[in-house]
Amino acid sequence: MPEKQENVTETPADQPAGKIIIFDTTLRDGEQCPGASMNIEEKLQMARALTALNVDVIEAGFPIASPGDFEAVKAVAEQITGRIICGLARSLEKDILRAAEALAPAGRKRIHVFCATSEVHRKFKLRKAKDQIVTMSVEAIKLAKTFTDDVEFSPEDASRTEWDFLAQVLSAVIEAGATTLNIPDTVGYAVPYEFGNLIRYLREHVKGIERTVISVHCHNDLGMAVANSLAAVRAGARQVECTINGIGERAGNASLEEVVMALKTRRDIFGAETNIVTQRIYPTSRLFSSITGINVQRNKAVVGENAFAHEAGIHQHGVLANRETYEIMRPEDVGIPASKLVLGKHSGRHAFRDRVEALGYKISDAQLDAAFDLFIRLADKKKNVYDEDIESILEAQTERIVETWKLVALQTMAGTNSMPTATVTLDKQGQQFTDAATGDGPVDAIYSAIGRITGVELKLTDYQLRAVTGGKEAQGEVTVEVDLGGRKIRARGLSTDIVEASGRAYLAAVNRALSIQNGKSQGISQP
């Protein structure tokens, strides 16, 4: 990059930021996004990916929220080493005891205590006066300190709290032992200049704040979560709370990939570094999408399909001459494979393994065998197999849904003047069941037939079809969202035949619903 021109209108960072702690809350706040709930195995898979990404802190869940959440935090605490594992708790004794119990096996643990401080929360949610909020928060920190030295405090809805009261609460929790002060913009209300000034105000008015790490946690309701987080870094925040793909409550949280790449790309502005292995960003983003079935929009910064695509001829020409003309980051720096090597049915196991590794996946021999088998079957139907096809195969492999029902055969009949009909055969523990049904279209007929065989009634709330690669022989990837008693479940299906992909996606949702009903997966509930 060329030397940066001095910009006279720009205010300098208050001080070079140095190391920024990346606190990932995909497994906690991220999971609060409808349809993003994960079972324990999936959370562990994400926690391993976050470890490879090298985040500093993993907020693994909110142990009091449900038995499933407790077990997930405990499993992460038991199995993930080398990271700080964090659990959330309200300022209540039972929450803190539950968080401490779930975190007990962790080598390095943090209890994250929160208490709402804004007037609207005090009056209508907690029905408590200011002095009661201070007392609750202080007592909670003191209790959390009996389990670990590493205690974080969040004044929920901080950005809508009176600044002097905020300073009063924060001074009190520091005296009680809080080591990280997290300033949440809970409802995504702040704007960057104001949020930066709030951090500056707190640095000047909170007693003992220099002994703590200032953290920020921004929501994206006005699309400013990342901008607010970065403004806070310039004002002195040293921890940023964020999620993969910006997933989270409502419009989401600050996106990890955007925060990290902004800090890296604009080091001239922030003087900051993170420990993130940026080459793991894209594989982690894809893994999260594959586990939850929630894809990022095409034009999503850093990890979207179009983030490094140049359509206009003039741009393509510029990039070919010198990529810096239109690229401020290199795709390979965020783990997007540079070459689109094409494999075909004559490519051997070796070439396939090489490609899998080049795409950033580490899989066992058994997984490689299964993936290679799918690859050969696909290559039989499709002349050229692209990187995206291989990624879809690998992602489908990682979706460890317990396959109670397996698809054996599927046949549909549809036309302009006939009633769409589907005949479906499924296998359950070696026994085959066949049924037929009619519907508004072939996909609807398949879903009815699956419902009749499995006895699982789900309400389809979303259906998306995407071509994995270009061309008429492309694989179709179908994502469905279904409603199970008010809970959203997402699942995906993949095939060169889109009707089959539709059936596979719905069956995956049925299997996921059965796992949930059998207690293998629990959602997090709001505090």
In the block, tokens 């290679």 appear at 372
CB distance 263 to 273 below 8 Å: yes
CB distance 48 to 27 below 8 Å: no
29 vs 157 by CB, closer to Zn ion? 29
- Interacting residue with Zn ion among 24, 29, 42, 59 (CB under 5 A): 29
Amino acid identity, residue 72? A
- Interacting residue with ligand KIV among 186, 212, 220, 285 (CB under 6 A): 186
- How far is Cα 480 from Cα 154, in angstroms, rounded to an integer? 36
**Interface with ligand KIV by CB under 6 A: which range of 72-80, 182-190, 352-360, 456-464?**
182-190
Find the shortest distance in angstroms from Cβ 477 to ligand KIV.
32
**Interface with ligand KIV by CB under 6 A: which range of 133-141, 179-187, 339-347, 467-475?**
179-187
Tell me if 241 contacts Zn ion by CB under 5 A.
no
Name residue 488's beta-bridge partners. 483
C-alpha distances out from residue 308 to 8, 223, 257, 302, Å: 31, 21, 14, 8
What SS3 state is found at 414?
strand
Residue 114 contact partner, candidates ligand KIV, Zn ion, none, CB within 5 to 8 A by sort of partner? ligand KIV
Residue 156 contact partner, candidates ligand KIV, Zn ion, none, CB within 5 to 8 A by sort of partner? ligand KIV
List the interface residues with ligand KIV, window 477-506 (CB under 6 A).
none
Contacts of residue 143, Cβ cutoff 8 Å, sequence gap at least 6:
93, 96
List the interface residues with ligand KIV, window 141-170 (CB under 6 A).
154, 156
- Interacting residue with ligand KIV among 30, 35, 61, 184 (CB under 6 A): 184
Tell me if 29 contacts ligand KIV by CB under 6 A.
yes
CB distance 238 to 202 below 8 Å: no
Tell me if 157 contacts Zn ion by CB under 5 A.
no
**Interface with ligand KIV by CB under 6 A: which range of 101-109, 181-189, 321-329, 516-524?**
181-189
29 vs 391 by CB, closer to Zn ion? 29
- How far is Cα 416 from Cα 408, in angstroms, rounded to an integer? 27
CB distance 246 to 254 below 8 Å: yes
CB distance 474 to 506 below 8 Å: no
Distance of CA 413 to the CA centre of its chain: 39
184 vs 236 by CB, closer to ligand KIV? 184
H or E stretch at 258 = helix 256-265
Site of interaction with ligand KIV (CB under 6 A): 29, 114, 154, 156, 182, 184, 186, 217, 219
**Residue numbers at the binding site for Zn ion (CB under 5 A):** 29
